[in-house]
Amino acid sequence: MIAYINGAITEKNYSNVVIDVQGVGYLIEVSMYTYSKIEKENKAKLFTHLYVREDAQILYGFADKEERALFLHLISVSGIGPNTARMMLSSLSPEDIKQAIISENVPIIQSIKGIGPKTAKRAIIDLKDKLAKMPDTEGVISSVSNNTVREQALSALSALGFSQSLSLKAVNKALKDNEEVATVELLIKNALKNL
């Protein structure tokens, strides 16, 4: 098993990179999340997972161990293969995916290309408890009332034309900055500052 690859980036695009390690170039499939972290770098250390099937051996790379752990959880769900998991990590940040699953937000998960309603519900059933135990998810859901206010704010931002992933990030940041948000209007106002 290859735990990580550390070396000079010789090629990179949105879906894969080539990292040179002492004259050997490793082709590594990456998500947009990882690409955004290494986009301006000449060197990188990517945590990896080697996926083996009958016709190929594919090396997937991740910016951090948390993204790799989430990827491994995602591919354990029936109906989510490595390419779909990578698509999920390209559409939303790992933290946003965890929050969507923990809060059982089917529309957010289903908004990702390749994820239908059955797969979204299966991911929630299979992963909700596991992801709640992962680092950085404590305090994700502060209260039931905040959750309702949060959903209403997300709907309003979506109606204003903001993408779901941007809206989710902005609302989550607004809630993190002030967990005692009393009204939908105040949450939307604070979220708009983050957009």
Enter the pTM of the model.
0.69
Residue 119 lies in a domain: yes
pLDDT at 180 over 70: no
Query: Who has greater pLDDT, 15 or 176?
Result: 15
Phi, psi dihedral angles at 48 (to 5 degrees): -125, 160
At 141 the pLDDT is 39
Residue 138 lies in a domain: no
Bridge partners, 8 (sequence order): 20, 43
Tell which of 132, 156, 179 closes a domain.
Answer: 132
Over residues 154-171, the pLDDT tens digits come to 777 776 777 777 888 888
CATH code, domain carrying 115: 1.10.150.20
- Both 73 and 92 in a single domain? yes
Domain of 99? 65-132
Helix (H) or strand (E) holding 121: helix 117-132
**Number of domains observed in the structure of the chain:** 3
Over residues 50-83, the pLDDT tens digits come to 999 899 999 999 999 999 999 999 999 999 999 9
Query: Who has greater pLDDT, 146 or 114?
Result: 114
pLDDT at 145 over 60: no
Over residues 115-132, the pLDDT tens digits come to 999 999 999 999 998 988
**HEC readout, 28-47:** EEECHHHHHHHCCCCEEEEE
Query: Who has greater pLDDT, 91 or 172?
Result: 91
Residue 166 lies in a domain: yes
Residue 163 lies in a domain: yes
Cα 123 to Cα 144: distance, rounded to the nearest angstrom: 21
> Which residue's structure tokens are 């040179």?
20
Helix (H) or strand (E) holding 166: helix 164-177
